[in-house]
């Protein structure tokens, strides 16, 4: 069986968790590989018997008995959160999640001082926050990229203390400077909490429980020799060669990609399929599923062209609430310009999975989709990142986004350009009030919903394979295999 790769086409929160769970059940998959992101993920899964869990570090298929989670070397692990998530899963009837956990020893760990400095940076930005999740993923990646990252192997071999000392020295200086430049009680509270020796002691104890001694977690080596007899990526390659049924679950969404997203409102890791394709091998066939909601959404700060207050009031999401770090969950009409860009930077996508269609039932009679943007500003900026037509001296119609240079993205100019955009053309569709949550096939849907889906499919030129009309696996309509 060809491996499935699930990727988000938007700003995250597209429904990758529920699609991963559904595909695992439908195809009796045995391995759930997390190929990017880390402890900040929030993949909601609801079972038919009423259990709900927001999967952060365990694979979203974990409710399925026997399915193993593989945390690849691209994962950024927060040990205390992982153990806490395991305890929560036990209360929900999953008592063997750790026994079903496999970790690449090259996976990066989040140390306390990385979480500290990440939170302090975000607080110091004041009103100009980037929308950090406050977990420390970005700082752990930054340290990893400059050779200071603590990986699982360091815990196994007892080599973590030297790296921890280097991290502490570097981060302590940064923290003191932030305290001096942006004095506040909130910054002092964060600094004092993480400089308590007990925090570091707990970090070591959590790591020891997970990765040393008689831990239930299997750690595989990317180099050679391991307790499980495998070699990191080679373990996956062998399973793929033997057609082991598996799914690669992405985190965040394409528009948050560190290299091609709308910086600075991005995560510090790659969020497209690039890591999964590298792990699987370019010579292998893959079933690629691009996930999108039936309407626009974004959690946290950053450009969001189709945001509307009306949609927020109508579609308040109980599983994506406002929090201290990301801020509010924002909603708007579906934005085809942004989704097309998400498809473009992901590369080939075989099918779309459209989620949350049921939530549009009864939301105003008319449903609308944004087809293009109106931009006001310096038209020369558009040559770097858009296909456009001039409307006036300082006004243009943006038809689609192009992939800009890394320099253009990193400078923040891409994001600033989008902040000067508003919807120009809306395609309008009849609404429906029917409860569609029990629909089993496309023909069960109101004609207005079918017309809405047909327009999405024809506009994006990618077939819709799955439509989600309720959170459970039973609430998924298979349009085509």
Q: How far apart are CA 97 and CA 109, in angstroms?
A: 19
Q: Which residue has the tokens 């190929």?
A: 35
What local confidence, expressed as pLDDT, does residue 233 receive? Answer: 61
Instruction: List the domains of the chain with CATH numbers.
Output: 4-105+219-291 (3.40.440.10), 109-206 (1.10.300.10), 293-463+473-478 (3.90.170.10)
DSSP states of 393-444: TTEEEEEEE----HHHHHTTHHHHHHHTEEEEEEEEEE---S--TT--SGGG
Residue 246's φ and ψ, nearest 5 degrees, are -145, 165
* pLDDT tens digit sequence for 366-380: 788 999 999 999 999
C-alpha angle 283-286-291 in degrees, rounded to nearest 5: 140
pLDDT at 223 over 80: no
Torsion 150-151-155-157 (CA) sign: negative
pLDDT in tens, 74-103: 999 999 999 999 999 999 999 999 999 999
Side-chain half-sphere exposure of 186, counting CA atoms within 13 A: 12
**Residue 477 in contact with residue 464, Cβ under 8 Å?**
no
Q: Is residue 325 predicted with pLDDT exceeding 60? A: no
Q: Of residues 276 and 231, which shows the higher confidence score?
A: 276
pTM: 0.91
3-state secondary structure of 390: strand
Write out 90-106 in H/E/C secondary structure: HHCCCCCCCCCEEEECC
pLDDT tens profile 403-460:
999 999 999 999 999 999 999 999 999 889 999 999 999 999 999 999 999 999 999 9
Q: Is 51 in contact with 88 (CB distance < 8 Å)?
A: no
């Amino acid at each position: 069986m060809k491996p499935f790769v699930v990727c988000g086409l938007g700003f995250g929160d597209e429904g990758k968790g529920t699609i991963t769970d559904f595909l695992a059940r439908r195809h009796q998959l045995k391995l759930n590989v997390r190929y990017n992101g880390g402890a900040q993920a929030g993949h909601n899964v609801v079972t038919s018997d009423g259990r709900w869990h927001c999967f952060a570090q365990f694979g979203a298929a974990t409710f399925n008995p026997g399915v193993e989670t593989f945390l690849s070397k691209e994962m950024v692990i927060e040990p205390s959160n992982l153990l806490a998530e395991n305890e929560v899963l036990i209360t929900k009837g999953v008592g063997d999640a750790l026994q079903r956990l496999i970790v690449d020893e090259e996976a990066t760990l989040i140390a306390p001082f990385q979480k500290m400095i990440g939170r302090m940076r975000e607080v110091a930005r004041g009103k100009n926050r980037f929308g950090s999740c406050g977990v420390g993923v970005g700082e752990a990646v930054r340290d990893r990229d400059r050779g200071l990252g603590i990986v699982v192997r360091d815990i196994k071999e007892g080599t973590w203390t030297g790296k921890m000392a280097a991290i502490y020295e570097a981060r302590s200086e940064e923290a003191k400077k932030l305290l001096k430049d942006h004095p506040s009680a909130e910054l002092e509270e964060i600094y004092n909490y993480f400089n308590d020796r007990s925090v570091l002691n707990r970090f070591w104890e959590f790591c020891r429980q997970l990765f040393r001694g008689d831990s239930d977690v299997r750690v595989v080596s990317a180099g050679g020799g391991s307790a499980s007899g495998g070699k990191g990526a080679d373990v996956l390659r062998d399973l793929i060669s033997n057609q082991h049924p598996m799914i690669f679950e992405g985190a965040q969404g394409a528009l948050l990609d560190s290299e091609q997203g709308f910086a600075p409102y991005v995560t510090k890791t790659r969020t497209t399929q690039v890591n999964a394709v590298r792990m699987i091998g370019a010579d292998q066939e893959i079933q690629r599923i691009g996930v999108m909601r039936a309407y626009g959404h974004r959690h946290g700060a950053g450009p969001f062209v189709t945001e509307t207050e009306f949609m927020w009031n109508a579609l308040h999401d109980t599983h994506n609430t406002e929090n201290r770090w990301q801020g509010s969950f924002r909603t708007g009409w579906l934005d085809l310009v942004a989704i097309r860009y998400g498809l473009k930077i992901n590369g080939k996508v075989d099918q779309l999975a459209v989620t949350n269609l049921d939530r549009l039932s009864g939301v105003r009679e008319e449903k609308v989709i944004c087809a293009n943007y109106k931009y006001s500003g310096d038209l020369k900026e558009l040559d770097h990142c858009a296909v456009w037509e001039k409307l006036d001296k300082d006004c243009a119609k943006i038809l689609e986004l192009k992939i800009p240079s890394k320099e253009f993205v990193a400078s923040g100019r891409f994001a600033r350009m989008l902040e000067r955009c508003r919807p120009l053309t809306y395609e309008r569709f009849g609404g429906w009030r029917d409860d569609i949550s029990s629909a089993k096939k496309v023909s069960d849907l109101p004609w207005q919903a079918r017309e809405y889906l047909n327009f999405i499919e024809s506009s994006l030129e990618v077939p819709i394979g799955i439509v989600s009309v309720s959170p459970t696996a039973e609430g998924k309509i298979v349009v085509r295999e």
